[in-house]
Amino acid sequence: MWGVCSRTAVGMAKTCLFKRPCHLVKPVSATRVAGRYLSHQRGLPALPVPPLQQTCERYLNALEPIVEADELTRTEELVQDFQRPGGVGERLQRGLEKRASMTENWLSQWWVQVAYLDFRMPVVVHSSPGLVLPQMDFRDQQGQIRFAAKLISGVLDFKAMIDNETLPVEFLGGQPLCMNQYYEVLSSCRIPGLKRDSVVNHAKSSLPPKHITVVNNFQFFELNVYNSDGSPLSSDQLCIQLERICSAAQETSAEPVGILTTLHRDIWGKAYLNLMKDETNRDSVTAIQRSIFTLCLDRAGPHGSEETYRSCAAIQMLHGGGSPGNSGNRWFDKTLQFIVAEDGTCGANYEHAPAEGPPIVALIDHVVEYTRKPEAGRPEAGQPVTLPPPRRLNFNISPEVQKDIDEAERSVNRLAQDLEMKVKVFQHFGKNLPKTFKMSPDAFIQIALQLAYYRKYQRCCATYESASLRMYRLGRTDTIRSASNASAAFVKAFDDPNKQNSEKVDLMEKAVKAHRWYTNIAISGQAIDRHLLGLKMQAMEEKLSVPALFRDPTYSKALHYHLSTSQVPSKTDCVMCFGPVVPDGYGVCYNPMEDHINFAVSSFSMCSETNAVDLAQAVEDALLDMRRVLEQSPKSKL
Ligand code: COA
Ligand code: HC5
């Protein structure tokens, strides 16, 4: 059980098992959490609070490539004042250290609030990522149902690993990781509030849910996925039930109530109160929230050519194509939605508050592997018996609710119209090439992104890359700032005809090393962004005025990420995607496989300065040009 590590696709090694997590947002008391899970979690180190001087110094370094000299001078003065002996910085640092000694993780709850629950933009595009699987080999409803049934079985198989304590613990850089997020993704849901949202997790209730929700033709159904003896329904049984759902959904039409979940959160918060006034609606919404996950059986989206297929599919996963498309065939507050369309387009959308991408991807990798196994090899749960039909979840649409639905349709259509998405499969090489040159593949890709951006804009920009903090108990993420002095020196030299090839290679190596260094400090809790956020939150907690350092335009500039990026590796050849985090920026998600790299680049078409297609092309060019100089370098011929 607690055996030897083996590498997984998430770049993490795995062993062992356990059970019952604590809740992410509202922790359950430790006495309810028993067994190996708890001892594993207890064995994890607590997230450190980095030294104040170190963060101040690193902050100024990180600003150098992205701000003007006069801005930097002003910020240097603010930093000096902030960290002076007896100053506000020291007071806040002490407060943070105290908080760290009294909580399981001084950061995570604040982070979930600030990054997700207090963030009021629609979760669609602005927060919830999409995941695109390779197109499956069916093209009709029968094939869709058969695949969806296998998919459900695959998720239940993964769920059993959670329930039976056989879920492997992952490792990163030889360190065991916090596994809490795995226990947050099933049977949970975000709930809109008037000012702040919340997340409920029913997995830990005394009566854990036994059903999923299925949505087809904008209509929701509760589908019980376990037999009365507790065994999961077989794929054949599930097929029968899904067929019943599809015929019932085709017979009638309904208002797309799910589209309400695409609204701005304050507006949805109000609309939610309208919706929940009605008892039938309350019952239906509760069934969705409690369900293990949601399965969206979509009609086919726009196809496009082979070249554009994945970009079209990414749009289906991210927002569903607007109200004439599949956007109403969703409940975007649901933590996990699997999407299976009639034309073989498959993937998922997930609400980000409870978990990061890697646990979701590990689950999906498992499901895909499961669906590929021949039926015969699988344990089937008993003989098909007559099952009660799935329950339709009815909604009563009052004029008020109808108005909210109309508004949601308009706003999601604007959002869909505004999102540009380009999926590029970079075929020329993958992790293999940087490895040959003894460079970190992730750092190599990030430096290529820096080069692509610089070539397009003649400047460096604040760049965000997600770094996992899961080495620490309840750890989430910190920011790797990919724009460094070393990357700036490299991108400025690269197209300079007066520079020798050897100098370019030397600068590339330095830039890649600097990135890997930043990655190492970030995953060991010594990066600057979450610490600075913590110091600011501490000031608010102590009801102090927000220190000038955080009111500085330079601080806003440092947080205005023109490039918001994330590496999400997987075993399956899939691509993950998300929207930009600023109106004039890009979202770039990439999955480096051994011999190719899948990229999804997004931008907003409203912004005339950005163009996802162009940036994707610039990234491809940058990667190829970087390879060329490496191969031309005498070192490579050694
Ligand atoms: N020479 C040769 N090989 C090298 C190398 C070098 N100098 N540096 C690294 N490698 C190898 C590694 O051993 C690894 O090998 P593997 O393919 O056998 O696993 C591979 O290259 C990849 O390493 P690298 O590219 O450096 O990246 P990483 O796997 O360490 O990932 C992060 C870096 C930042 C992505 C990772 O630390 C992280 O935090 N991941 C989580 C991100 C996340 O949560 N994203 C989703 C947010 S929702
Ligand atoms: C299916 C995986 C998608 C990845 C999502 C991701 O990277 O989210 C980042 C989370 C974090 O805390 O860094 C946020 N980001 C999309 C804005 C990079």
Distance (Å, whole) CA 172 – CA 471: 7
Q: Sorting pLDDT into bands at 50, 70 and 90, what band is 39?
A: confident
Give the 3-state secondary structure of residue 496: coil
pLDDT digits (tens, 9 = 90+) for 599-632: 999 999 999 999 999 999 999 999 999 999 999 9
The ligand 2 atom at the shortest distance from the C-alpha of residue 581 is 17
467 lines ligand 1 (CB under 6 A): yes
Q: What are phi and psi of 132, to 5 degrees?
A: -110, 125
Give the residue, by CA position, lying nearest to ligand 2 atom 11. 466
The answer to whether 465 and 565 have CB atoms below 8 angstroms apart is yes
The ligand 1 atom at the shortest distance from the C-alpha of residue 439 is 7
Q: Above 50 in pLDDT, residue 270?
A: yes
| Ligand 2 centroid to residue 13 C-alpha, Å | 21
pLDDT digits (tens, 9 = 90+) for 505-547: 999 999 999 999 999 999 999 999 999 999 999 999 999 999 9
| Ligand 2 centroid to residue 566 C-alpha, Å | 6
The answer to whether 18 and 33 have CB atoms below 8 angstroms apart is no
Give the residue, by CA position, lying nearest to ligand 2 atom 12. 477
Among residues 23, 126, 264, 352, the one annotated as catalytic is 352
Looking at residue 284, its pLDDT comes to 98
The ligand 2 atom at the shortest distance from the C-alpha of residue 130 is 1
- For 334, which DSSP code? B
Enclosing H/E stretch for 365 = helix 357-372
Distance (Å, whole) CA 622 – CA 431: 15
pTM for the whole structure:
0.94
pLDDT digits (tens, 9 = 90+) for 138-160: 999 999 999 999 999 999 999 99
Looking at residue 164, its pLDDT comes to 82
Instruction: Note the ligand closest to the C-alpha atom of 11.
Output: 1
Looking at residue 636, its pLDDT comes to 63
| Ligand 1 centroid to residue 172 C-alpha, Å | 9
pLDDT digits (tens, 9 = 90+) for 190-244: 999 999 999 999 998 999 999 999 999 999 999 999 999 999 999 999 999 999 9
Distance (Å, whole) CA 343 – CA 304: 12
360 lines ligand 2 (CB under 6 A): yes
| Ligand 2 centroid to residue 335 C-alpha, Å | 14
Q: What mean pLDDT do residues 444-455 have?
A: 98
Looking at residue 375, its pLDDT comes to 73
Both tokens of residue 436?
Answer: 């040959």
Looking at residue 504, its pLDDT comes to 98
Helix H, strand E, coil C: the string for 543-557 is CCCCCHHHHCHHHHH
356 lines ligand 1 (CB under 6 A): yes
Q: What percent helix, strand, coil does the chain show, rounded to 5?
A: 45, 15, 40
The ligand 1 atom at the shortest distance from the C-alpha of residue 519 is 34
| Residue 379 or residue 394, greater confidence | 394
568 lines ligand 1 (CB under 6 A): yes
Distance (Å, whole) CA 217 – CA 6: 43
Mean pLDDT value across the chain: 92
Catalytic status, residue 531:
no
Distance (Å, whole) CA 560 – CA 563: 9
Looking at residue 121, its pLDDT comes to 98
Give the residue, by CA position, lying nearest to ligand 1 atom 32. 467
Residue ranges of domains in the chain, CATH in brackets: 2-28+44-100+108-114+421-637 (3.30.559.10), 121-377+388-418 (3.30.559.70)
Q: Sorting pLDDT into bands at 50, 70 and 90, what band is 17?
A: very low
Q: Among all chains, which residue has been given the structure tokens 């059903």?
A: 211
Q: Which residues pair with 597 in a beta bridge?
A: 426, 592
From first CA to last CA, the distance across the chain in angstroms is 45
